[in-house]
């Protein structure tokens, strides 16, 4: 759930302990088996074929971001700030991951249309809009940079 889009063409190899953390962390807090399982589930629901890894990091100035290791074919890596994700309720974790997968979807389908709004439009195919609002509040309180919910999410729908 980052302010700017980060899609680099390369990334330093992930440290094994970081990868391991992503597979074992959070189960108590979120009630999910792991962030990776959640990511895999959302990826399937969004019909993204490329592999997407998720990793917890000690500090991500963007709180969450996604990068590709090898252009449009991926695999992609979602980096999640460890402290930030601990602040999120399970539905909010799902929304945040879905948002990053929204960027992946755009990148693999319409790379020149990359925006925060469109990433959320994609994410809202599988996660209810209401889950995104508290995520943004928490992102903004952490980064100190406020944005506009309507701009990022569109107007609340009637349903």
CA angle 29, 59, 55 (to 5 degrees): 60
Instruction: Report, in Å, the least distance between residue 116 CB and Zn ion.
Output: 5
Judged by beta carbon, residue 94 or residue 116, the one nearer Zn ion is 116
Question: Hey, which residues between 2 and 61 contact Zn ion (CB under 5 A)?
Answer: 2
Judged by beta carbon, residue 2 or residue 138, the one nearer Zn ion is 2
Instruction: Report, in Å, the least distance between residue 103 CB and Zn ion.
Output: 6
Gyration radius of the chain over CA positions? 14
Question: Hey, which residues between 95 and 134 contact Zn ion (CB under 5 A)?
Answer: 116, 119
Judged by beta carbon, residue 56 or residue 132, the one nearer Zn ion is 132
Instruction: Report, in Å, the least distance between residue 24 CB and Zn ion.
Output: 26
Beta strands (DSSP E) in 98-158 are none
Instruction: Report, in Å, the least distance between residue 119 CB and Zn ion.
Output: 5
- Cβ neighbours around 31 below 10 Å, total: 10
Q: Which of 54, 101, 63, 62 is nearest to 82 (CA)?
A: 63
> In angstroms, rounded to a whole number, what is the distance separating the alpha carbons of residues 127 and 67?
22
Judged by beta carbon, residue 15 or residue 125, the one nearer Zn ion is 125
Q: Which of 152, 105, 101 is nearest to 127 (CA)?
A: 101
Instruction: Report, in Å, the least distance between residue 5 CB and Zn ion.
Output: 6
CA angle 104, 79, 114 (to 5 degrees): 30
Judged by beta carbon, residue 78 or residue 119, the one nearer Zn ion is 119
User: Which positions lie near Zn ion, rule CB under 5 A?
Assistant: 2, 116, 119
């Amino acid at each position: 759930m980052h302010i700017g889009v980060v899609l680099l063409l390369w990334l330093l190899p992930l440290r094994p302990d970081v990868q391991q953390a992503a597979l074992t962390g959070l189960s108590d807090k979120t009630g999910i088996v792991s962030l990776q399982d959640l990511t895999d589930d959302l990826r399937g629901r969004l019909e993204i074929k490329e592999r997407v890894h998720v990793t917890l990091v000690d500090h991500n100035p963007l709180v969450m971001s996604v990068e590709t290791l090898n252009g449009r074919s991926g695999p992609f890596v979602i980096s999640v700030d460890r402290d930030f994700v601990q602040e999120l309720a399970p539905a909010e974790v799902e929304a945040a991951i879905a948002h990053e997968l929204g960027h992946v979807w755009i990148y693999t389908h319409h790379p020149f249309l990359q925006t925060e709004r469109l990433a959320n439009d994609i994410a809202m195919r599988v996660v209810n809009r209401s889950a995104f609002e508290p995520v943004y509040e928490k992102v903004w309180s952490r980064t100190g940079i406020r944005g506009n919910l309507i701009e990022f999410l569109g107007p609340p729908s009637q349903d």
